[in-house]
Amino acid sequence: MTGVLGHETAPHEGPDPASVAALIVELQSVGLRTDAEVETRVGGAGPTDAGMLWIEGFPVTVPVRTEDARRSPYVLRHEDDGGRAIYRDGRRLASVADTRRPRYYDRTTADGVPYWKIALLHLDSMASTVVQTCNYWNTADQCRFCGIGVSLAAGSTIVKKTPEQLAEVSVAAKELDGAVDATLTTGSSTAPDRGARYVARCGRAVKDASGLPVEIQFEPPRDLAILDEVHATGGADAVGIHVETFDPQVLAHVAPGKARTGIETYFRTWERAVALWGEGRVSTYVILGMGEDPDLTVAACRRAVDIGVYPFIVPLRPVAGSLMEDWAPPPGPYSNRVYRQVAAYMSRRGMSAENAVAGCARCQACSALNAVQPLLQIGRRPGAGA
């Protein structure tokens, strides 16, 4: 057969790794039509309206419910042997492992809250927004890409999850559905810790109950000494402190509150966090497709890598109900160029997803970085047009 990049492979062989990497990049840009049922995260924050897939062994979330996805040239189909695969123009491109609704979703707490309203399973990672409110929401400072309030308005979650609830659900997620870690985030607060103390308490409860490694995510606290306090709780194996974009003009437009915090404050916070948690266990989201300068973005990602921060690069995934719901994800070739440049530098500096023990950098499903990086490590190009 012919892979998505034109690499010839025998019918009985799996697709070329470069083809798989390029396919993942394209799917996260144009989405996937589905003729086969797939477990889907519907609406709100997180990997919104996304199918949860294992594509040739890679964990991937791709848009499946958007208008772009319904027009995608790629389609997920059942096969005669009971498996499923992705096709384009009648050509089989990659196999897809079966996904199903998590078993723990059928349980409820003693006070009647469904487990799925407390934490969702993203492939093999349990994830929860422990406080589903943010002081930026419905103000001039609201992050334009965010959907934290959309989930709450839709009734798909509760305002505040307790440490006890999260601990209970984490045990079920691990025992019933094989969750391997937990990712706990929170809306920002006006308190000096920006919500970090509470999410750390939740992380400690999850670790004590289930033994799962945990990443907690929060904004830079107003006093960096709070990081020492959070680390001392033992509630986190990794932390995510997300700047979202390194382009100051774009940041001022899409996330005014974060822009006032300042990109240099993020770097100072990361340096302190790396000293506490270690290299590769501190990460930041870097969203592509919001009008950023790609050269500036790559240079800043390299600076982050130099101090031990994992730049988790993702294409914009517009959230229905957010202020950017009418935007489109960036073209695949654009994302691929950034992936390649940053991944190559990460390899030279000895950083990879293997350094991460929990969280988005460990999971990798919303990015193609982990599919691209191994190709560069062995001197192969991850895609045409890159």
Mean pLDDT, range 339-358, rounded to an integer: 95
What is the pLDDT at residue 13? 63
250-281 residue pLDDT tens: 999 999 999 999 999 999 999 999 999 999 99
The closest of 40, 38, 43, 319 to 156, measured between CA atoms, is 43
**Average pLDDT of the residues of the chain:** 91
Does residue 4 register a pLDDT over 50? Answer: no
Residue 37 is classified by DSSP as -
DSSP string, 123-190: TTEEEEESB---TTTTSTT--TT--HHHHHHTTSS-SB--HHHHHHHHHHHHHHH---EEEEE----S
**Segment 154-212, tens digit of pLDDT:** 788 999 999 999 999 999 999 999 999 999 999 999 999 999 999 999 999 999 999 99
The model's pLDDT over 202-216, given as tens digits with 9 standing for 90+, comes to 999 999 999 999 999
The yes-or-no verdict on residue 218 having pLDDT over 70 is: yes
Residue 320 scores a pLDDT above 90: no
Task: Tell me the percentage of the chain whose pLDDT exceeds 70.
Answer: 92
- Report the pLDDT value the prediction gives residue 377, as an integer from 0 to 100: 65
How far is residue 294's CA from residue 272's CA, in Å, rounded to a whole number? Answer: 27
